[in-house]
């Protein structure tokens, strides 16, 4: 584990140094990444230019959902976003070179082409989150104060598990990277809107089947003191770390099984 983290740091550091060789390009792409996510929130602001509430939620309330989901996804995207290129590596055969190196394969793929510019997404998420926390009139308790960062970090871990799980699929279906986007980018898009917007079945699905709701909906609704559309006890909001750990474990097992079953395409 410690060895893996060290290897990740070394590989990521190498990529950061190489990106820094073209500083102007780095500045431009970081700004671009930041702007791409800004447009996401601008869209929501434009919507609220026409209405006062969406699904019964105000703009600051929606911003809280958005900020938590975007920051959580941003963390996973920064650390593990490169995993979505694994199908490409399997296809062109460069995946095999990773197998012979004395460093965990997952670490190598995750740190490969580490893109520091992806912090743009985290910065934007934190800015929206900050705006929400300043504007909203929340009845703060110690538990609520604790819950926000806890949920964001757990959410990051959950999205990380999705990235790992999705990369296993790519072992077998090499050009299906798009499916992963449905759960990562799609998941974030879903979570940035209030749950009351969606059909009850869909909300149930992302609570019990693909537990996306634990990233932002459940914790944020606890903080806001609002009711979740699916009846659940209040303490469920604090389960995010457990859910993330469970998903992480499953993804880890899937990764091992996938790696063992991997057959090279040859050259």
Partner 1 sequence: MRVYAVVAAGGFRRHATYRMATMAGIFTNTVFGFIIAYTYTALWAERPDLGGYDTAQALTYVWLGQALLMTCSLMGGGFENELMERIRTGDIAIDLYRPADLQCWYLAGDLGRAAFNFLGRGVVPMTIGAFAFDLALPVSPWTWLAFLVSLALGVVVSFAVRFLVALAAFWLMDGAGVLQISFLTGLFFSGLLLPLNLFPGLLGEVARALPWSAFLQVPADVFLGERTGWDLVGALAFQAGWALVLLSTGRVLQSVATRRVVVQGG
Binding flag, residue 193, partner 1 (CB under 8 A): yes
CB burial readout 61-98, b (16+ within 10 A) else e: bbbbbbbbbbbbbbbbbbbbbbbbbbbebbeeeebeeb
SS3 259: helix
CB under 8 A: which stretch of 25-33, 75-83, 94-102, 244-252 binds partner 1?
25-33
Residue carrying structure tokens 């447009």: 39
User: Which residues from 33-62 bind partner 1, rule CB under 8 A?
Assistant: 33, 35-36, 39-40, 42-43, 46-47, 49-55
- As measured in angstroms, the least distance from the Cβ of 237 to partner 1 is 23
Residue placing its CB nearer to partner 1 in the complex, 36 or 253: 36
CB 96 within 8 A of CB 130: no
Residue placing its CB nearer to partner 1 in the complex, 193 or 222: 193
CB 180 within 8 A of CB 84: yes
Select from 18, 22, 208, 253 the one that contacts partner 1 (CB under 8 A). 22
- As measured in angstroms, the least distance from the Cβ of 230 to partner 1 is 16
By CB atoms closer than 10 A (0-12, 13-18, 19+), residue 150 is middle
Question: In the beta sheet, which residues pair with residue 54?
Answer: 57
Residues near partner 1 (CB under 8 A) are 22, 24-25, 28-29, 32-33, 35-36, 39-40, 42-43, 46-47, 49-55, 173-179, 181-182, 186, 189-190, 193, 196-199, 202
């Amino acid at each position: 584990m410690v060895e893996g983290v060290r290897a990740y740091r070394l590989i990521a550091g190498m990529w950061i140094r190489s990106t820094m060789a073209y500083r102007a390009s780095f500045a431009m792409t970081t700004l671009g990444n930041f702007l791409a996510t800004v447009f996401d929130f601008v869209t929501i602001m434009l919507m609220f230019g026409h209405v006062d509430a969406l699904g019964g939620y105000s703009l600051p309330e929606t911003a809280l959902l958005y900020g938590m989901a975007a920051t959580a996804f941003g963390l996973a995207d920064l650390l593990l976003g490169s995993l979505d290129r694994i199908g490409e590596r399997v296809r062109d055969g460069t995946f095999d070179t990773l197998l012979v190196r004395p460093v965990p394969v997952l670490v190598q793929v995750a740190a490969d082409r580490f893109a520091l510019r992806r912090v743009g997404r985290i910065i934007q998420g934190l800015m929206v989150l900050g705006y929400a926390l300043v504007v909203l009139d929340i009845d703060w308790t110690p538990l609520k104060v604790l819950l926000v960062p806890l949920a964001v970090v757990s959410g990051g871990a959950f999205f990380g598990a999705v990235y790992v799980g999705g990369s296993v699929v790519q072992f077998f279906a090499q050009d299906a990277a798009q499916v992963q986007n449905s759960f990562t980018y799609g998941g974030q898009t879903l979570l940035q809107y209030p749950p009351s917007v969606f059909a009850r079945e869909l909300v149930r699905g992302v609570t019990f089947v693909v537990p996306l709701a634990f990233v932002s909906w459940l914790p944020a609704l606890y903080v806001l003191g609002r009711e979740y559309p699916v009846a659940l006890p209040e303490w469920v909001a604090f389960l995010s770390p457990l859910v993330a750990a469970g998903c992480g474990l499953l993804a880890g097992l899937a990764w091992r099984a996938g790696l063992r079953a991997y057959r090279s395409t040859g050259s």
